[in-house]
Structure 1
Amino acid sequence: MTEPAPEQSQQSPPLTDSTAHLLARITDQLGAQLSLVSRNGTRRPMHRTRHPDRPAADGGTSAPALVAVAHGSRDPQALRTVLALLDRVRELRPGLDVRLGHIELNAPLLPDTLDELRGAEAVLVPLLLGRGHHVKRDLPAASAAAPGVRTRIAAPLGPHPLLVEALYGRLVEAGWDPGDRDSRRAGVVLAAAGSRDPDSAQDTRRTARLLAMRLGVPVVPAYASATTPTVPAALRALAARGRHRAFVASYFTAPGRFASACADAVPHRAAAPLGAHPAMARLVLHRYDQARAGVAPADAVSLLASA
């Protein structure tokens, strides 16, 4: 009599990766559904999350508005240029409330823009390139005169490496050849508006040093008003050093009287204002984010002291 064969153990076949992934998804979904049911069997309300800069269902937004503060100019190209820059900012940050306010000469003026934001929160981003009177006096005064708006003031755009990239791009558009081997004859004048505030001049000099490092040639800051040297004087100083092939880098956010006067010194080798260069849009958002994170304007500028 033969003995019955021992029973074979019943083992489940190993799970494939796809099967295990499917089971994990089902488990996660069941867990999520069960989490919405309270102990008494009623369903808990579902809380949806959203991007902090996208509008809520009721039309509001959790992010403060970005108010770009431009100086203003009688040149009609200035307003068009600033509007084009803000369009780029909106493309980079969809859903963010981006507005414009001018210090003078153009509508909308900053007080009117802030009045429209009564009861809301806003970050004022100056489209200015250094720490002059407007940044130190006019913007805080406008904020204090708008008590219905919770405001923070961002640092001016300069100095910053993104500004240098925009300056470099505009110089290339004006004919600067980065591959030119005869750089011993080349130089650049960084033409700025000018200010009596020593901090503003210091910021311009820092940008000039950063641009010189980027280009590998001397960069001399010059000014359209308030201080020296002028652009023609800076060009003569470069020529005295053998730098006869000089370009003018326009250290202006938008066209205007000062920008045109500086460009007239060497019209065939003068770069356009920074305008709506892509690096400018990124820099506006960077200053906005810094202000939201609690970085004070003076702290943001001082980060570039060792650059």
Structure 2
Amino acid sequence: MHITTLDPGASALDYYGYELRRYREAAGLTQRQLGVVINYTGSMVGQIETAKKLPTLEFSRAVDAALDTGGLLTRLLDLVLRSQLPSWFQQVAEMEARAAEICTFQTQMVHGLFQTEAYASATLATMDETDLEDRTAVRLARQRILKKEHPPVAWMILSESALYQEIGGPKVMHGQLAHLLSFENNPRINIQILPFVAGAHAGLTGSFTLFRFDNDPTISYTEGYGSGHPTANPDTVKDCLLRYDHLQAAALSIKDSAELIRRVMEERYGEQRDAEGDSVAEVELQQ
């Protein structure tokens, strides 16, 4: 049988596959045998070993436990998934991972750090449905920074229009708004809604994000079609900081924002229930 030999220096995904195969062979297991142990198919193990399929967190943890790797593959996973982001966005993901504080203003849709799987999939499917499952997993992997031992403080000011922009249908939107409400009592994740009645405001030019670091200059970031524009230019950063202050002043309080989100969720998207008949909102809030 021809066995593809990976160059571990070619990419983070190749390195992951190389290490997976090395540990498996050291344990004297075939791909199928390892698959039986971790409850995956041998074909899946083979695809990941040859860098044809992205690993998941569950897969990585299962292999680490089965092969006694000391958690190597789980630690590699963040690098692997970040390497699969568009090249122009990888620097942004690195800034998200290093930032002490992330402040973002969004005009059209929920920021990627706060998206549900269904909402993320619906946004990514627009104009391009190729490798949708993997691309969605890569986006959601960024959210792991919010669960670190010392996560960044995150602020999102979201235009009220984004609550009404029906992405993915009523059920998806209901779940997404319920997910936003799940952060209501988390002091490190703060969501404010900029209401329609704010009228002309400091963010009319468009969405932007600010990254604050413990030991590095603040960076402002804006995004276009297929490109991102981070800058540490002092004048640009100062302008964005001022705009963000004015947006926060014009936005609803955190408590009033949650009340508006809840009202839109219930009145516009109705009571959505899962297959077991449980309220989607209750399920989201318990997570």
Q: Higher relative contact order at CA 8 Å, sep ≥6: structure 1 or structure 2?
A: 1
The structure in which a higher percent of residues are helix is: 2
> TM-score, normalised to structure 1's length?
0.28
Tell which structure's C-alpha radius of gyration is larger: 1
> TM-score, normalised to structure 2's length?
0.29
